[in-house]
Amino acid sequence: MISAVDSSVLLDILIGDAQFSKTSMRAIELMGRRGRIIVSPVVVAEIFPLLSSRILTEKFLSDLSIEFVEFGLEASILAGGIFIHYKQNKGGKKQVIADFLVGAHALMHAQALLTRDQGFYRPYFKELKIINPAQV
């Protein structure tokens, strides 16, 4: 199985979040045993400020056996289309296009998305298996 990982999980690990870091790290390890773990360009951009260098970012991803996978045109178009639907139905709440890009990337390139933000992703990416790190 290929699993995509959201920045919420990686940020837990990077900042050493007292509540979530151990659970997120354990989930990454378990998902890695089940198959490949991939990450989107958006997630890399979201974690980069904590690492502050290309070398440290690449090492962090490599240490966790996480592969970088580009979007592709289909994922980008899918994200934009779902974002239009979201804006029309929700009136422009706090979600930004980056969240939709992460979901679309996972839908196009993986079978599951490892995230703590499952409440957001479920209604918009119904075909995608959403996994909470605490439930792995």
* 94-120 tens-digit pLDDT: 778 899 999 999 999 999 999 998 778
> What are residue 72's phi and psi, to 5 degrees?
90, 155
- Give me the residue spans of the domains in the chain: 2-135
The pTM assigned to this predicted structure is 0.90
Calculate the CA 83 to chain-centre distance: 17
Calculate the CA 42 to chain-centre distance: 8
- What is the distance in angstroms between the CA of the first residue and the CA of the last residue of the chain? 14
pLDDT of res. 91: 58
pLDDT of res. 123: 86
Please name the fold of domain 2-135.
Rossmann fold (3.40.50)
